[in-house]
Structure 1
Amino acid sequence: MQLNWKESGLRWYWVVVVVFLADQLSKQWVLANFDLYESVKLLPFFNFTYVRNYGAAFSFLHDAGGWQRWLFTAVAVGFSVLLTIWLRKQPANMVRLNLAYTLVIGGALGNLVDRLMHGFVVDFLDFYWNTAHYPAFNIADAAIFIGAVLIIIDSFSASSSDDKAIKE
């Protein structure tokens, strides 16, 4: 049965807009106020540090010669289209999954714009403990991570409820 946008997961697309705007505005602020590698300590375990990521998560393929920019662009567009199609097909009351998909889409589009405009992704959230630093990331990365975790949680929840339905 075809759902209209109010009944479908597309009703949650406002999350995409919020994530995208928060991500892009934060990155523009960093670009306007920080020099590359400039760092400001905010907490004993957290800095604002402007770095460029030419690769994907954890700088994967950052030194691959430039082709990775187009690969990650295609992946971002592909996943965004696929997740939007899935949103269109599922009911709006599937809160966890709709939120997960829209977080991933918003994050993917935020990083996509960076890749297309700059050739790299602007990262600036730098968490660390003593001298061990977690790789710097941004709001888009955080949204993608949270969305992925929600998808994983949902997959276990759905399978356990399916198991209950089969047993009954």
Structure 2
Amino acid sequence: MSNNIKQYLSITVILFIIIIDILSKNWIIRNIELYDTKQIFSILNFFHIHNYGAIFSLFSNEKGWQRWFLSIISLLIILIIVRTMKKLKTQEINQILAYSLMIGGAIGNLIDRIFYGFVIDFIDFHINNWHFAIFNIADCSIFLGIVIFLKINYKT
């Protein structure tokens, strides 16, 4: 696969994730009030919340410093992944996909953190009264990228 095709694939995936993430979060902001729920399926709600912290609301109760700290950490991670992608010359399409999904998701959440000071989360999977952590499209993209990365690099 040529470098041009690799770059095109990477940029396409990253932009797709960012656009879908931004559009979904804007829809949530316009259609669901903060802390309100809209049932989609019996196991899926849209529940509009603002996460001032990181994964599973880590640092969310701090006094504001976490906004810039987490933004800097996100930016550093994005730069490390981009640098890693550039170094790999004969990379497989799955590796590019994994890294691109992670970058797209990280940028999606970074945009929220910079512009709002928090990340907009809204996807609420649940079984009866047990609810998983609330997340968004960017989080899904990061998770999927990590799963693909682990599958490629840690075959059993």
Say whether the fold is shared (TM-score over 0.5).
yes
1:36-55 to structure 2, matched below 5 A, reads 36-55=34-53
Aligned length in residues? 155
Alignment partner, residue 103 of structure 1: 101
Paired amino acid for 1:134: F
1:86-97 to structure 2, matched below 5 A, reads 86-91=84-89, 94-97=92-95
Of 88-97 and 70-79, more deviation after overlay is shown by 88-97
Check whether the contact 1:54–1:120 (CA below 8 A) recurs between aligned residues: yes
TM-score of the superposed pair, with normalisation by structure 2: 0.92
Hey, which bits of structure 1, 4+ residues long, moved more than 6 A? none
Matching of residue 135 in structure 1 with residue 141 in structure 2? no
Alignment partner, residue 81 of structure 2: 83
Alignment partner, residue 154 of structure 1: 152
TM-score of the superposed pair, with normalisation by structure 1: 0.86
Deviation at residue 151 of structure 1 after TM alignment: 1.4
**Cα deviation digits, residues 104-143 of structure 1 (max 9, x gap):** 0000000001001111000010110110111110000000
Q: For residue 6 of structure 1, give the secondary structure of its aligned residue in structure 2.
A: helix
Q: For residue 62 of structure 1, give the secondary structure of its aligned residue in structure 2.
A: coil
Structure number with greater Rg is 1
Q: Which consecutive residues of structure 1, in runs of 5 or more, have no partner in the other structure? A: 161-168
Q: Distance in 1 between matches of 2:141 and 2:154?
A: 20
Paired amino acid for 1:18: F
Of 29-38 and 80-89, more deviation after overlay is shown by 80-89
**Cα deviation digits, residues 2-51 of structure 1 (max 9, x gap):** xx7416x4332210000000000100111111110111111111101101
Alignment partner, residue 10 of structure 1: 7
